[in-house]
Structure 1
C-alpha cells in the first residue's frame, strides 16, 4: 500500500479520536473540517494510485456543538455556622451533569462558581469583597438535588452580619443617623419612620397607637400646666 496513503489514514483516525474528546465548539469545528479534508484527500489518493477503497461503515457525522452561552447567577441564599459561610445556589438538574462541570475557585476574599453545560448553558457567579477573609484551601462545594452549596471556611470564627463589604456599606448608608448634635428627637423619629415604612400592617397599627397615646399624654400634661 502507498506509504503516503497509510499516513493519511493514520492522521484521519487520530483526528476522529480528538473530535470525540473535544468539548469546545471552535476546536470541534476545526477538527470536523480537517476530518472532511482528510477523507477527500484519501479518496483522491486512492483513485490516483489505483488502491481499492476500504469498505468502511459510514462514520457518524459529528455535528458542531451548538453555541453555549453563559448566564449570570443573581439569586442565592446564604447562612453560616461557627466555621463556615454557606451559599446556596438553586440550579435545576445540576445533580445530573458530571461533577467536574461544577467548578469553584476561591481566594481569601472572593469565590467564582462556574457550572458548565447545564441545560445547554453555562452558569457563572462571582462574589468579590467578602466581608471577612476565608481559607481557600479549606473551602469547597457540594452538589445536592437542584442546588450547589458553596462552603467558605472562615479564617476566624466570628459572626458575619453581611456576605460582602459592598452589602455592608450599602446597608450602613441606608441606616438613619442618630444626630445628637441637632434635635435630640430627630434621630429617634427617623428610626421610627423607617420601622413604620418597612413594617407589616400589625407593626404600623402598633406604632400608630403608641404615637397617639404619647400625644394624648403630652397634651394632658400641657393642659395641667394652665
Structure 2
C-alpha cells in the first residue's frame, strides 16, 4: 500500500514542471519621479534623465499614450526597469501625433497638443491644484485681529 502512494506522489511530482524559473532580466521596477517639461506651439515635451538609456535596444523603451495620459516603461536598463505614469494631463493630446525620442541619457516624450497655439500653465490637473493651494487667496498667514488693526490704522 505504501508503494502505491509513494508511486502516486512520484507521478504527481513528475507532472509538475521542474523548477518554475522565469527568465529574470530585470530586478525590479523603479518609479521615475523627476522630470522636466517645456512646450512649443504644437508639443508639450517631457524630459526624463536616465543614465545609459541610449544604450538599451529601442524596443525596451515603450510609451503608451491616451488623450489625457501617458506611461513610459524602460526595460532592462542596468538590471532594472524604470516606469513613469502621468495621468490627468491638463489638456487633451493627440495620441497619433505623440511620440518619444531616445537621446544620450535622456528620454524625450513629445505630446502633441490637440489645440495648437494654446499655453499649458501646468502639466497635470494635480499639479495645478497643488500650485493653486500654495497661493493664499487672502492673507492667511497673519493673525485675523492684525488685519482689523491694519484697517483701523488706515482710518
- How is 1:50-69 mapped onto 2 (pairs within 5 angstroms)? 65=24, 68-69=27-28
- Normalised by the length of structure 1, the TM-score is 0.51
Give structure 1 regions of 4+ aligned residues with deviation exceeding 3 angstroms: 64-67
- For 1:145 and 1:131, the matched residues in 2 are separated by 29
- For 1:123 and 1:140, the matched residues in 2 are separated by 18
Aligned to 2:136: 176
Aligned to 2:120: 160
Aligned partner (choices 49, 52, 57) of residue 90 of structure 1: 49
- For 1:112 and 1:77, the matched residues in 2 are separated by 15
More helix as a share of residues: 1
Q: CA deviation at 1:151?
A: 0.4
- How is 1:112-131 mapped onto 2 (pairs within 5 angstroms)? 112-131=71-90
Q: Residues 149 and 66 of structure 1: is their aligned pair in 2 closer, same or farther, counting only changes over 3 Å?
A: closer
- For 1:72 and 1:105, the matched residues in 2 are separated by 16
Q: CA deviation at 1:178?
A: 4.2
- How many pairs does the alignment contain? 125
**CA RMSD, 1 decimal:** 2.5
| Structure 1 gaps, min length 5 | 1-25, 31-63, 190-217, 219-226
Q: Deviations over 1:171-195 (max 9, x none)?
A: 111112148xxx9xx6xx9xxxxxx
| Structure 2 gaps, min length 5 | 1-19
Q: Deviations over 1:126-148 (max 9, x none)?
A: 00000100001110000000000
Q: Residues 144 and 163 of structure 1: is their aligned pair in 2 closer, same or farther, counting only changes over 3 Å?
A: same
- Normalised by the length of structure 2, the TM-score is 0.73
- How is 1:133-148 mapped onto 2 (pairs within 5 angstroms)? 133-148=92-107
Q: Deviations over 1:122-171 (max 9, x none)?
A: 00000000010000111000000000000000001210000000010111
Highest RCO, 1 vs 2 (Cα 8 Å, sep ≥ 6)? 2
Q: Is the 8 A contact 2:26 2:76 kept in 1?
A: no
Aligned to 2:61: 102
Larger Rg: 1
Q: CA deviation at 1:93?
A: 0.5
More strand as a share of residues: 2
Q: Could you say what secondary structure the match of 1:137 adopts?
A: strand
- For 2:25 and 2:107, the matched residues in 1 are separated by 25
Q: Is the 8 A contact 2:25 2:76 kept in 1?
A: no
